[in-house]
Amino acid sequence: MNRISIATVLLALLAFGADHGRSQAKKKLDIRIGYLTDQPMNHPRVTDRDDYLDLYDKKGKWKSQIIIVFEADEKAPKDRSRPIRAEGRIKRIDLGGPAGTRGSYTNDVLYVTSWKYVAAKDVPRAKE
């Protein structure tokens, strides 16, 4: 990684963290339902509690993978084969780099305040 991309990542994460605390009190909680992934893609680290949630459309086709962060007092699910309903605050991360580079990374980060297992029949997942 070159110096510019490291600086870009650090500045984006600093801005992300500074804004996170201020904006969270004003928003209602967001909900995402999916499966904790067994195959994480390339994502920047947000905290030391990062995990990744695969989201699917109604037909069970994989849609996207988001970063999820379990708050320090919230235990993460152990059974990755069962879908979860995660509730918390969404923050968008955008490294702001040129298109087509690692610095152009954007994604949602869900700061999980609570979660529960949901029935697998309610969250279809097509065999790949």
pLDDT digits (tens, 9 = 90+) for 14-40: 455 544 444 445 568 999 999 999 877
Q: How far is CA 115 from CA 4, 30, 68, in A?
A: 38, 11, 11
Query: Residue 93 corresponds to which tokens in the numbers above?
Result: 């991360």
Domain 3-122 belongs to what topology? Answer: OB fold (Dihydrolipoamide Acetyltransferase, E2P) (2.40.50)
User: Rounded to whole angstroms, how far apart are CA atoms 69 and 53?
Assistant: 10
The mean-pLDDT minimum among 22-31, 105-114, 117-126 falls in: 22-31
Strand partners, 90: 110
Overall pTM > 0.75: no
What residues form DSSP beta bridges with 50? 69
pLDDT interval class at 92 (50, 70, 90): very high
Given a cut of 90, is residue 82 above it in pLDDT?
yes
Angstrom distance (rounded) from CA 34 to CA 55: 5
| Predicted confidence (pLDDT) at residue 100 exceeds the cutoff of 90 | no
